[in-house]
Structure 1
Amino acid sequence: MTTANLFEASVIGLAAACLTLPAAAAAAPARALQDPTQPALTLASRLRTATTPATAPRPSGTVPPRYRYVSLAVPDSIYSFVGGLNDAGTAVGFYNSGGASQPTYWDADGTLHTLGAPAGGASAMGINNAGEVFGIGSDDAGNIQLLRWNLDTPDAFEVLYSSSDTTVIPRAIGEDGTIVGYWGDTAATRVTGFVWTAADGIVDYGCVDPAHPEYQCQFSAISASGRIVGAWSDPGDPTGAAHALVAQAGTPAVSDYSAQTAAANSMINAINANDLAVGHMDIAGTGTLVPVTFAPDGTVTPLPAAASFGSGFSSAAGINGSGTIIGYAQDATNTLWVDEGGEVLDLLAATDDPGSLTPSNTVAINAGGSIAAIGVSIVPFAIQSFVLVPIPPDAIFADGFDSASR
């Protein structure tokens, strides 16, 4: 599936698929479900399908382990998606056991709590440090709704926008409560970035070139300064390329991130408080997508080659204020990785218990270095989430046994 078609598919099918689970979904889960946290790829292309053999859990490759595995699996659910993680370690997402999806949040220790939801179900998709949660829902009439919760009153939800003919896909929330994402008509003839604020409501920011209304834009993240990033595509481009974009909250306009990204397949997934963004790009022009950083001045820098794990596609999915970057590589084993100042680690090989899931993708990293991610159980098929929490090094033995005796 090309990038251009991915924009269309996500706008047409995503919201409905993640709110109410059709009976056929159990028979064809990879086709029926899509991952709202990473619209660059559908679950059909990101996750192992039910017919793909499961890979064996990876043994820990680091002694002592660097991360502690905290399961966010929900018993008897078909899937549990984590959509966001804040600095307190609170994760948000949704699960489905058949029927409507249930929005949820998890404490740092993995304890599950539910959020209030409209009649048609809902999906929580992100959280900020103030405990504001955003997502999508569906009312009795099947209208797609942009929703907001506050963890101080988790049973209540606020409808920020509702429409019968528009699909709204929110992607990120700022610390001031600004929500960004993309929306379009149900026929996906026009897909553009939007910004929601309490002052102005939902505002259409358009796309990169008003002369080409067929171009499709999606916003994926917003920084503390209001810098918005994402990608755009031309549905008529036979290569299916996407191109990184940038916008500024308060100014309804979109532009190419740089001349370099305008000329190459590129996409931005996340941005930190220092306005350093991450994603992927065909930086060599060979068709291979590698993880990169996007500096505020437009400079694109590839991550160490190790972060690609020899694959033709590897992407950076998140970055925190300290510059630690997470991502995933679609190699033979679908590797989840972290780049800690140039040291690249296979995440599941660096955990105390790699679990039994086939890795799918990383979702978010918080200020403390905790990482939210998604994996797949093949038999029986289920999509389940987890968090990897950094294990502090033992200070007594940090410099070896000799230092402990001094």
Structure 2
Amino acid sequence: MIRFIVVLISIATLWPTAVTMGDQPVDDKQTPIRVRSNGFPKTAFEYAKLVEPDLGVPPTVNLDEAVEIPLYVKGVQRYGNLGRTCDNPSFLGKDTVSGSTLQRYEGRTADGEPLPNVIWISFARNSSSRFDAVVGSVQMIGYNQESGATAFFESCDRIEPWVKLDKETLRMRGTLPGIEDQNGFNEAFRTPGAVQCVQCHQADPFITNDFINAAKIPGTDETVVPKLDADSPYYVIGGENWDMRTVFVDGNRCFECHRVGMTTMTMFMQNGWNPNQHMPPDDPGRLKEDLSQLLQVWRKGPDNFKGADWIIPPARGEQRKLVEADYPNKASFNNPGRSFDGNAKQNKGRFEDRVDDRQLSDVQRQEIRQLLKDVDDVDTRKEFEDWFEKMGMDESALRKLRAISNGKDAK
């Protein structure tokens, strides 16, 4: 049975019954949710309304009640910027700093009724070098364990209005606006943009490693972030056109307990993580040959190996499915041989040789550059620029930019 750290207060008025548009109050239940061409509403409040039937209402994140992620050096808890030398670094390619927190919340309806199959996880990631200059983010992930429905909320970059740091330990503290404060909630959180969250959250909604798993529910040995398995359902509300594929190899023991997101794994490997020193947890290194086979499949592609396939996870009561070459939602980050940062050709756990944009013509690349200049929203433009820097240009991005230019985004 899942034990919850926090039970949200049952407040019938938690979900506003009306929103104000101009000077006229409008019945919120009658107001259509405006969805952009990428499948997601523009505002976090509208996204919360979209996911409510599957996930209830998002929790109000109180970092003071969250569990701090402990960092260790030779088994002793330490504080501050520990670089990459601690026992449990984040493996995200940046320094690991103390003070990050995790929290698990029980799902609730707007009327405060419990949703036993729904959990929410908040993750406050600290990257600050000084206690008086907050650098970091706060994320929320809602997950329905029965259907697989998932929602991703990411804070804005400027979290100082709500988050402070302890001077000695850099622990993040403070409370972010909840949905009862519509304007504040929209100011604090964003909805997914051009970059697909499943680029990292590929195998299932929650990324886990020694850094994340160090946070335990107080008084237990249970991790705050739940551990899912190979049959756990998963789909993203609003992300119907996202690339949900992962590699599967029949008979490979790496898949006995869970799915494997190759872009996530290679990101960790690029930053010093050695799977054979960690997996499987009960006997690290025992599956060395299986790992070698898996990496070989990823280099050359499942189509070139007997027994290797692309699969999409179970979802909405349906079993996992094999998908073929005509899968319509292919994304550039999920090409065989690529690592998280868009590189190819693995060598000793690292990937080299940048993959170029030869799938697009010179005319198409020029069109992308021009369309990008015409994007009025600064945040959207930056998301595309960050994506191109990491992954290169592709036809999916070109289609999205054309849709924006043609005015297909809901106003």
Q: Specify which structure has the higher proportion of strand.
A: 1
Q: Radius of gyration: which is bigger?
A: 2
TM-score by length of 1: 0.29
Greater fraction helix: 2
